[in-house]
Amino acid sequence: MSKRVAILLSGGGSNMVALLDSMTGDHAGRPALVLSNRADAGGLDKAAARGVPTEVVDHRPYGADRAAFEDALHARIMDYRPDIICLAGFMRVLTEGFVSRWQGRMINIHPSLLPKYRGLHTHARALAAGEAEAGCTVHEVTAALDDGPILGQARVPVDPADTPDTLAARVLTMEHRLYPAVLRRFAAGDRAPVWLP
Ligand code: GRF
């Protein structure tokens, strides 16, 4: 039986589209849900256009009560009985309470060569440090931010003329290759890392 995959996002969802479009043929996963914490996330329309159910769980009514938000998030996700959660630009930090319920079944993509540059503004920080290469990482989600076993990494060269935006665009094209490659393996039960290119 195929694995049901839920994708969580907050923005445009280009990684989500790459994941959805990859789940065909002999892929062990199939899309079950795309969920956003923002009703205006561009990714929601793209998912709906592909016939995938969408949901919104807005974090704002919960204020500082992360546990209440995460309970609501968990409940809505469970309506779709996913086997795997892919975080794809989901811009909320998830606490241990949520993460522990999905440990080993939830993965994330981060636009840096982890363990370097956890958190935000990764490309600006990589440029400021004079890095010769940059990239992206898919990892299992644990309670520590942008941590957890690495499931794949893709590298790109840094151009001396790069700005954070040009570097982000180059890395993003690799994200669209890496994340589907990792999900394909992960959904089949294979945690061996994918190294690109
Ligand atoms: C990507 O750079 C991803 O690595 C980061 O958020 C961005 C999401 O972009 N976590 P998109 O919504 O998939 O286009």
Structure tokens at 51: 């016939």
User: For residues 118 and 110, is the Cβ–Cβ distance under 8 A?
Assistant: yes
Distance in angstroms (rounded) separating the CA atoms of residues 52 and 86: 15
Structure tokens at 14: 């280009």
Structure tokens at 11: 């923005």
CB of 146 within 6 A of ligand 1: the answer is: no
Give 113's contacts (C-beta < 8 A, 6+ positions apart): 133, 134, 135, 136, 137, 153, 155
- 158 Cα–ligand 1 center, Å: 19
Question: DSSP character for 95?
Answer: P
Q: Express each pLDDT in 104-156 by its tens digit.
A: 999 999 999 999 999 999 999 999 999 999 999 999 999 998 899 999 999 99
- What pLDDT was estimated at residue 139? 98
Range(s) of the chain covered by CATH 3.40.50.170: 1-102, 109-197
Distance in angstroms (rounded) separating the CA atoms of residues 103 and 105: 5
Q: In a 3-state reduction of DSSP, which class is residue 107?
A: strand
- What pLDDT was estimated at residue 1? 84
**Ligand 1 atom with minimal separation from the 13 CA:** 12
**Ligand 1 atom with minimal separation from the 87 CA:** 10
- 10 Cα–ligand 1 center, Å: 9
CB of 108 within 6 A of ligand 1: the answer is: no
What's the CATH class of domain 109-197? alpha beta
CB of 167 within 6 A of ligand 1: the answer is: no
Residue 158 has pLDDT above 90, yes or no: yes
| Residue 110 annotated among the catalytic residues of the structure | yes
Residue with tokens 């981060």: 110
Give 163's contacts (C-beta < 8 A, 6+ positions apart): 127
User: For residues 55 and 31, is the Cβ–Cβ distance under 8 A?
Assistant: no
**Ligand 1 atom with minimal separation from the 109 CA:** 4
Q: Express each pLDDT in 12-35 by its tens digit.
A: 999 999 999 999 999 999 999 999
The active-site residue out of 27, 59, 74, 110 is 110
Structure tokens at 102: 């999905």
Q: Express each pLDDT in 36-80 by its tens digit.
A: 999 999 999 999 999 999 999 999 999 999 999 999 999 999 999
What's the CATH class of domain 1-102? alpha beta
Atom 2 of ligand 1: nearest residue by CA position: 111
Residue among 28, 15, 32 nearest 177 (CA): 15
The angle subtended at Cα 60 by Cα 57 and Cα 63, nearest 5°, is: 125
**Ligand 1 atom with minimal separation from the 168 CA:** 2
Residue 161 has pLDDT above 90, yes or no: yes
- What pLDDT was estimated at residue 145? 87
pTM above 0.95, yes or no: yes
Q: How many CB atoms lie within 10 A of CB 112?
A: 22
Which of 35, 46, 91, 172 should be mutated for ligand 1, with most atoms under 8 A from CB? 172
